[in-house]
Amino acid sequence: MVKFEQIKGFVFDLDGVIADTSVYHAKAWRQLAEKLGVTWTDDLADRLKGISRMDSLNMILNAGGIESNYTETEKELFATEKNANYLKLLKNMDSTEILPGIVDFIRDLEEHNYKLSLASASKNSPFVLKRLGLDMYFKNKVDPTTLKHGKPDPEIFARGAEVLNLKPSECIGIEDAKAGVQSINSAGELSIGIGNAEILSEADINFASTGELTLENIKKALNSQINVD
């Protein structure tokens, strides 16, 4: 197990970790799914977390057994429609949508000279960070348009360490999605799962909410694991 002292950087997911935008993504997908006659379930909503726009659409069509009913051009139009729904929901977004404890945590990381990067699958992430007033903290971002594979593939979190000039073993990745935790783990970083610990059982450290994200809690969690091993 990695020691706390080895850690030099933190690689953040955005939606569901920095802001509660995963709720808006889900709402926008649900609008489209129901229009296409696909039943919306909590399980589907969970599986969509962290998944790129086109992969999400394919997952929804698969869930309804209608994946072969549409051409690529029609699918592009559906994805564009979902994004328009999503952006409408973000219309009034500002810093009040930042999740609890995140600003204090980021400031604490900066004060202690940790490096920060963003590993979000969302093409909207630069816009969202700006609206939240947090863009100055994330100069180092992975550009999701340059990725060959989406989460759970390790590519995005591996790149999250690379943009910081750090080794994966020197980084902690923070995620609210099962696919995201799997991406962190297979990139060789230490994973923190935010939310349902049953769904995120593969994470090295689980916190029920972002309010628990502090350097002290992370240190405590790691030290207790070292004692058990």
In angstroms, give the least distance from the CB of 16 to Mg ion: 4
Among 2, 11, 16, 122, binds Mg ion (CB under 5 A): 16
Distance between CA atoms of residues 164 and 157, nearest Å:
11
15 is catalytic: yes
Distance between CA atoms of residues 141 and 161, nearest Å:
10
Residue type (1 letter), 108: D
- Residue 170 lies near Mg ion (rule: CB under 5 A): no
Check: CB of residue 219 under 8 Å from CB of residue 41.
Answer: no
In angstroms, give the least distance from the CB of 65 to ligand BG6: 21
Per DSSP, the three-state class of 29 is: helix
Apex 126 CA angle, 123 and 131, nearest 5: 125
204 is catalytic: no
Q: Which residues bind ligand BG6 (CB under 6 A)?
A: 14-15, 22, 25, 48-53, 56, 83, 120-124
Distance between CA atoms of residues 195 and 207, nearest Å:
6
Residues 197-226 binding Mg ion (CB under 5 A) are none
Q: Please, which residue, 32 or 51, has the CB nearer to ligand BG6?
A: 51
Q: Please, which residue, 36 or 98, has the CB nearer to Mg ion?
A: 98
Q: Which of 15, 42, 104, 229 is catalytic?
A: 15
Among 176, 182, 190, 195, binds Mg ion (CB under 5 A): 176
Positive/negative CA dihedral, 164, 148, 25, 203: negative
Instruction: Give the catalytic positions in this structure.
Output: 13, 15
Query: What residue ranges bind Mg ion (CB under 5 A)?
Result: 13, 15-16, 50, 176-177
